Amino acid sequence: MATLRDWVELVRAPAGLSVPGDVVAGAAAAGALGPRTPALAAGSVLLYWAGMAANDWADRDLDAVERPERPIPSGRIAPGAALAAAAGLTAAGVAVAGLAGGRRALAAAVPLAAAVWAYDLRAKNTAAGPAVMAACRGLDVLLGATGGRARRAVPAALTVAAHTYTVTALSRGEVSGADPVLPIATLAGTAAVAAAAARPGRATGRRWRALVPVALAGWYAARYGTAQAKAAADPSAPVVRAAVGAGITALPALQGALAAGAGAAASGAAVAAAAPLARRLTRRVAAT
């Protein structure tokens, strides 16, 4: 009988803390922050967890060789149960988004769900994998923007997508290690992402509000960038895996910077506060 911890490990539950900030960043950019934002974020988290469960179901044979300790190959969760959970979480995520945001939210949630499954079942091990995963995160940002002027959220969506591309590309060296060129390339991408997020944008009012995106973008760059620099010096699998984890747990700082740059400094700071909590929790349950 699978335990709660087994399910938490299957869906990488703590890594879900990296998700709500997508919706908040999109909503802030579109001028749509409001009562429905938390519900859209909840739907987004459900879709993320669905993707994690579907990922492990699709990789069950490979994990039996490379990661036999994972819930499915270790026998703690049956493959059919994992697939059913992935399908149920997908349906729940889309339903929550639709109830919260109506047709406009569904117009983003349905393609997002489709992209998640496309990545897990088809694209993950192809050259298109990082781009498809980046599209998932970009759509997640646009999900938050569906209640306002969604076009204004496109730059934020592209910024989060670029970050996601670097993490996904780097993750390909989690098991066997990587060529040192890879973390050097992703580090360059991270610098560009941080520079884009550090722009104050529409932040107005007191001067300190204009400094929030700069500070949060710097925090993001320091956390994720340092881990990638270590991977460039030692591209062995454990170091690369740690860099991937840093990329996941540093994402709230990036999302916070984007929200603050759109004028929502308090919301951005609240989103970024999830970063240290995510880092602490992923020491107990792996984010990758």
Rounded-to-integer distance, Cα 74 and Cα 134, Å: 30
Q: Is the dihedral of CA 156, 92, 282, 66 positive or negative?
A: negative
Please report, for the chain, the start and end positions of each structural domain, with discontinuous segments joined by +.
Answer: 4-281
pTM of the model: 0.93
Rounded-to-integer distance, Cα 190 and Cα 70, Å: 30
Q: CA angle, 206 as apex, 155 and 17 as ends, to 5°? A: 50
Q: Any idea what DSSP says for residue 120?
A: I
Rounded-to-integer distance, Cα 105 and Cα 196, Å: 26
Rounded-to-integer distance, Cα 101 and Cα 106, Å: 7
Q: Any idea what DSSP says for residue 284?
A: T
Q: Which residues contact 256 (CB under 8 A, 6 or more apart)?
A: 21, 25, 212, 216, 267, 268, 269, 270, 271, 272, 273
**pLDDT, position 193:** 97
Q: Which residues contact 188 (CB under 8 A, 6 or more apart)?
A: none
**pLDDT, position 201:** 58
Rounded-to-integer distance, Cα 204 and Cα 45, Å: 30
Q: At what angle do helices 207-233 and 237-249 cross, to 10 degrees?
A: 170
The CATH class that applies to domain 4-281 reads mainly alpha
Question: pLDDT (tens digit, 0 to 9) for every residue of the chain, 288 residues total?
Answer: 889 999 999 999 988 999 999 999 999 999 999 999 999 999 999 999 999 999 999 999 999 998 899 999 999 999 999 999 999 999 999 999 999 999 999 999 999 999 999 999 999 989 999 999 999 999 999 999 999 999 999 999 999 999 999 999 999 998 889 999 999 999 999 999 999 999 865 545 566 777 899 999 999 999 999 999 999 999 999 999 999 999 999 999 999 999 999 999 999 999 999 888 878 887 777 766
Question: DSSP alpha helices (H): ranges in the chain?
Answer: 4-10, 20-30, 37-58, 60-66, 79-118, 129-144, 154-171, 181-197, 207-233, 237-249, 251-261, 265-272, 274-281
* Paired tokens of 127: 């050259």
**pLDDT, position 205:** 55
